[in-house]
Amino acid sequence: MDTYFAPAKRADTDTLKKEIATVACNPIIHELLNSISGLIAVLDEHRQVVALNDSLLRVLGIEDPGAVLGLRPGEALACVHCNEEPSGCGTTRYCSTCGAAIAITATLAHNKPEERVCAVTANRGGGSAEFSLLVKASPLTIEGRQFVLLFLQDITLEELRAALERTFFHDMGNMLTGLLGVSRLLDAKGNDSMLVNVLQQSAQRLYKEMEVQRCLFKNDISELRVAREETTPQQLRDELKNMFDSHSAAIGKTLDLTGELPQLSIRTDVSLALRVMCNMVTNGLEATDAFGKVKAWFVESADALTFCVWNDTCIPEEVRYRIFQRSFTTKEGNGRGIGTYSMKLIGEKLLGGRVTFNSCQEQGTVFRFALPKG
């Protein structure tokens, strides 16, 4: 199989040289590339770069434009997936959900402008970096040949701020609602030690949640202090039940937390672990139709305690490849795509666990969060 999405074929060397010369000699394109400060490139019908401006070269960290000419956009940007198939950018399993690939192929197919948001994970300095780009592709005809004029705008900070703002107010609102509800009961019933304990736990979770949001906003999760303490599946389930008794995502749906509990204790940061688990349950509830059911349970293995969440919805195959990528989302509106990303980030990098999932039409979707026993 040559490709999973866009055509694999590339221009041969002679054709590519002619295309580069044709574009370079066009006075309108020359003026456009030299007068606009934005990020601009011209692609041929095979999605290969035949011209680009200095602004884009600077962003790519390349001085010689010859190093970019002939590459496809993902290859020029050093997308981590561009070399996963022999034919490169546009042909991998990930490309069918890439905003840039969709915009470019749609423009070539329909000869009209197309604009999309593209979430990119790129190789940078021995590691990887996440970017969000607003991509606009417009059809262009020069000397009877078909080209694409590509405009790129870096909206990484805008997307991150919108996502964190949405997540912050959503999560804070839910936690404060629970805190206020318990405090009212405490006031009405007198000094009840159990209610006081719940109130104290909620306050602690609220404080830790604010710390998580602060570090995510700074894009430096390493600053977050992990405070490990003994806890049990029973304690974790009780707190989850309290969280979702009045959660907006659970309205009109059933959350089944009644599975048999493993009899063990583990040391972990309870606030952070509950944040991952809460996101897992919320995602399951949001993916479930009205009157549907979500199941959550704990499983013990030789080296881990695993929290599982099931719902009967199958995640589309093209979405599964990007489920943990920051800013990638299938939901409407700005500021999405941070929930599953933070699950992976906190669950694995901070707590040393493992966050995975599997999904199919016959059995639905199960997310798993395995916490080490040691």
Instruction: Dump pLDDT digits (tens) for 359-373.
Output: 999 999 999 999 999
Report percent pLDDT > 90 for the chain.
64
Contact 162, 170 (CB under 8 A): no
Alpha helices in 112-253 (DSSP H): 156-189, 193-217, 233-244
H/E element, 230: strand 229-231
Residue 267 clears pLDDT 60, i.e. is over it: yes
Range 291-304 average pLDDT? 96
pLDDT at 219: 64
Residue 304 clears pLDDT 60, i.e. is over it: yes
pLDDT class of 335 with cuts at 50, 70, 90: very low
Q: Which amino acid is at 68?
A: V
Q: Which of 178, 221, 202, 170 is nearest to 343 (CA)?
A: 221
What does pLDDT average to over the chain?
88
pLDDT at 190: 66
CA distance readout (Å), 116 to 47, 136, 138, 355: 16, 7, 12, 29
Residue 16 clears pLDDT 80, i.e. is over it: yes
Min mean pLDDT across 123-127, 149-153, 199-203, 295-299 is at 199-203
Q: In whole angstroms, what is the distance from residue 236 CA to residue 324 CA?
A: 24
Contact 370, 354 (CB under 8 A): yes
Answer with the residue of higher pLDDT: 296 or 224: 296
Q: Which amino acid is at 351?
A: L
pLDDT at 171: 77
Report phi then psi at 268, rounded to 5. Answer: -160, 170
pLDDT at 295: 97
pLDDT class of 116 with cuts at 50, 70, 90: very high
Instruction: Dump pLDDT digits (tens) for 222-242.
Output: 667 788 999 999 999 999 998
pLDDT class of 331 with cuts at 50, 70, 90: low
Report percent pLDDT > 70 for the chain.
89
